[in-house]
Amino acid sequence: MNKKVTVLLSVCLASSMVACSSQGGTTPETNKSAAGSSNEPITLKFASWSISEAATKDALEQMASTYTSLKPNVKIEFIGIPFGNIKEQTFVMASSGDAPDVIQTFTASFPTYATSDIIAPLDELLGKDYVNDLLPSYKDDYSYQGKLMGVPWAASPYVLYWNKELFKKAGLEAKPPKTYDEMLEAARKIAKLKTDSGEAVYGLGEPTDKLPINGMIFLKTLYSFGGSIFDANGKVNLNTPEATSAYKYYQTLTNENLTPQSAKLKDLRNLFSIGRLGMYVDGYYGKAVFRSLSGKGEAYDNVWEAALVPAGNSSGKSVSIGEAHGLVISKDSKHKQEAADFIKFLTDKDMMLLYHQKSDVVSARKSISSLPEFNTSPFDKVLNEQMSIVKALPKNNPGLEQSYLDMADAVLKVTLAKETPEKTAADIDAKLKQALK
């Protein structure tokens, strides 16, 4: 278990970032709760991986500084925990009676929190108006048994990234593919290229390593082929022609060497950043990563563009999934209302605009995501257009995170072990019927 890194932020930092807004802006009045209106000193412990990462640390520190300047009796104590360890460590902390008040989580691992007994329902703490302002698909992704159990914070749809330079070298038109068939044809042409030093160039990357997030991303492909985990009666049914077609797509990518084997998302991001990958699907994180890993900074923005996920052959429409870094409140927190007020502050217009400007995050609140400030660049517009056509993930279930892992394993079997798509669909159908009862 990795050692926690704790960062204490001063409670008295002055801030010039406070702005007034009729669209949920940051003011002392809009963020003062009945429970937090006294001057009683309060410490909110916030477990987060973003506070330990260079790309997001500055934004979070500025947010906390602004909040404590508005509410001087509140101290924000960040507990930095790496992304890969945060679920395990916060559950251990909760079992020992030392749970943080606020915990950062992620869509693929949230089902384990939602179905546990360590977090609190949020509907009453946040209020009806706030809850109703959440985009429906993201609200569903962070609910369990009709209750909102987490807040989608840094939201993102999955969009297609494509390398304009590789398209040009491959003799392709300077425009993104509109359908899966067009995407495969473009990938085949790009995969014939080599780098100047003779290294392979891949046409189209899909994450296929055995990780829960990759099982979640598989749903994007399943939906695009007209499939679903559940049938019309709400029963698991993955042994279908649509699921088989989705697995055939993955097998085509590997059989024709269009995608790297057993890739994680970070592998695809790296390959795209160094000009060895023509296309792949990812969240908003791409731009900052490409700038860093390419070594070219903002100049690398001229190499790539983002586009809607290509339309599936069956539906004829772009369909994607969304994810979000989420925020939950510990059941044992002694300051639940104050923690809820802090979450409302972090997801308010001004703080989301700060986060958006620094990291390209998208708001999951209807009243904010549509504002002009969040739609200034072509990249912004693609993200927000895709946000309007994402499909909700399966309802949270005690077995959902394990099911994501099983779905990732199924993709690995059809690509690496060369199982037939038909057998893979039948096997995963049987597993999920046990896991998602």
- Model confidence pLDDT, tens digit, residues 29-45: 344 443 444 688 999 99
Domain residues of the chain, as ranges? 5-156+323-387, 159-321+395-435
Residues 109 and 400: their CA atoms lie apart, in Å, by 9
- Residue 315: its pLDDT value, please? 67
CB 122 within 8 A of CB 330: no
* Range list of H helices, 96-211: 110-114, 123-126, 128-132, 136-141, 164-169, 180-190
Residues 347 and 356: their CA atoms lie apart, in Å, by 11
Residue 157 tokens, joined: 């749809």
Name the phi and psi angles at 102, rounded to 5: -125, 135
Residue among 380, 187, 182 nearest 284 (CA): 380
CB 369 within 8 A of CB 380: no
Question: pLDDT tens for residues 138-189?
Answer: 999 999 999 999 999 999 999 999 999 999 999 999 999 999 999 999 999 9
Question: pLDDT tens for residues 320-360?
Answer: 999 999 999 999 999 999 999 999 999 999 999 999 998 89
CB 382 within 8 A of CB 407: no
Kindly tell me the burial class for residue 388, based on how many C-beta atoms sit within 10 Å of its own C-beta (0-12, 13-18, 19 or more): exposed
The full DSSP string for 18-73 is ----TTT---TTTT--STT-S---EEEEEEESGGGSHHHHHHHHHHHHHHHHH-TT
Direct distance between the N- and C-terminal alpha carbons of the chain, in angstroms, rounded to an integer: 32
Residue among 283, 286, 262 nearest 273 (CA): 286
Q: Tell me: domain 5-156+323-387, CATH 3.90.1150.110, correct?
A: no
Residue among 245, 217, 246, 107 nearest 158 (CA): 217
Q: Which fold has domain 159-321+395-435?
A: D-Maltodextrin-Binding Protein; domain 2 (3.40.190)
- Residue 22: its pLDDT value, please? 35
The full DSSP string for 244-273 is HHHHHHHHHHHHTT-S-TT--HHHHHHHHH
pTM of the model: 0.87
- Residue 362: its pLDDT value, please? 92
Residues 318 and 179: their CA atoms lie apart, in Å, by 8
Residues 141 and 324: their CA atoms lie apart, in Å, by 9
Residues 286 and 292: their CA atoms lie apart, in Å, by 10
Same fold, 5-156+323-387 and 159-321+395-435: yes
pLDDT tens, residue order, the chain (437 aa): 443 333 333 333 333 333 333 345 654 434 444 344 468 899 999 999 999 998 899 999 999 999 999 999 999 999 999 999 999 999 999 999 999 999 999 999 999 999 999 999 999 999 999 999 999 999 999 999 999 999 999 999 999 999 999 999 999 999 999 999 999 999 999 999 999 999 999 999 999 999 999 999 999 999 999 999 999 999 999 999 999 999 999 999 999 999 999 999 999 999 999 999 999 999 998 898 999 999 999 999 999 999 999 998 766 889 999 999 999 999 999 999 999 999 999 999 999 999 999 889 999 999 999 899 999 999 999 998 998 889 989 999 999 999 999 999 999 999 999 999 999 999 999 999 999 98
CB 362 within 8 A of CB 156: yes
Provide the residue type at 320 as one letter.
S
Q: For residue 314, what is the DSSP state?
A: T
Residues 253 and 258: their CA atoms lie apart, in Å, by 5
**Could you give the angle at the alpha carbon of 30 between the alpha carbons of 25 and 35, nearest 5°?**
145
The full DSSP string for 349-365 is HHHHHHHHHHH--B--B
Question: pLDDT tens for residues 392-402?
Answer: 899 999 999 99
What percentage of the chain's residues is helix, strand, coil (to nearest 5)? 45, 15, 40
Residue among 188, 182, 216, 217 nearest 203 (CA): 188
- Residue 55: its pLDDT value, please? 82
